[in-house]
Amino acid sequence: MSDLTFADKLKEQTRTVHDSVDNLVMSVKPFDSKENYINFLKLQSVFHRIVDDIYKDTTLNQAINDLAQMARYDAVLADLADLGQAKYQFAEPLPKPTGNQAIGWLYCAEGSNIGAAFLFKDAKEKLGFDEKFAARHLDAHPDGRGKHWKAFREHLNNLNLDENAQNEAIAGAIDAFEFYKATLRQIFHQAQA
């Protein structure tokens, strides 16, 4: 157990909740119609609005090179605008994660760009959207998804969080995934738990 890095622990301890998010997203068929895809973009906009402040946090930007440039909220808004949609206003106050919890939210958001390879492919094949129109925020990092993710995991490990801080971050990551699911259900009008 102690041989695991912080990034390894994040992955291992969020695997189950991640897979439930993956299944839930696919169950609402986001790429079956433009209407569904717009709902998916609204969901992404709520999530990325929350993490935008974390990506732009001054202290974290000193520890993680180019972190602010990795933020994708503006790209989600551009995707919505491509489809004639105004900025989506979520009815409820948004969470404002801070401290180590915020690092967990950041992990959740940045890691989502790995699985986004599949979503990008579907958006392109089923709806004809791409990095220039309506699927900008699903595009790969310029370094390539895999290479970028490896480097990002190193940054997380180099934060040198102690065990307590790591556990707070893992709890934050789980909150982020759970928030994503709850928001998805609200936006797609799904009542089931």
- Which residues contact ligand HEM (rule: CB under 6 A)? 10-11, 18, 21-22, 25-26, 107-108, 111-112, 114-115, 118-119, 177, 180
> What is the DSSP annotation of 146-176?
HHHHHHHHHHHHHT---HHHHHHHHHHHHHH
Which residue is at the shortest CB distance from ligand HEM? 111
How far is residue 4 CA from its own chain's centroid? 23
Output the smallest distance, CB 109 to ligand HEM, in A. 7
CB of 5 to ligand HEM, least distance (A): 11
Q: Measuring CA to CA, which residue among 121, 171, 173, 125 is closest to residue 145?
A: 121
Query: Which one, 77 or 122, has the nearer CB to ligand HEM?
Result: 122
For residue 7, CA distances in Å to 84, 105, 145 come to 38, 13, 16
Q: Count of alpha carbons within 13 Å of 101, Cβ hemisphere only?
A: 11
Alpha-carbon gap, residue 181 to 25, rounded angstroms? 8
Nearer to ligand HEM, 21 or 103 (CB): 21
Minimum CB distance to ligand HEM smaller for 119 or for 134:
119
Pick 115 or 161: Cβ nearer ligand HEM:
115
Nearer to ligand HEM, 58 or 120 (CB): 120
In angstroms, what is the minimal distance from the CB of 190 to ligand HEM? 15
3-state secondary structure of 3: coil
> What is the smallest separation between the CB atom of 108 and ligand HEM, expressed in angstroms?
5
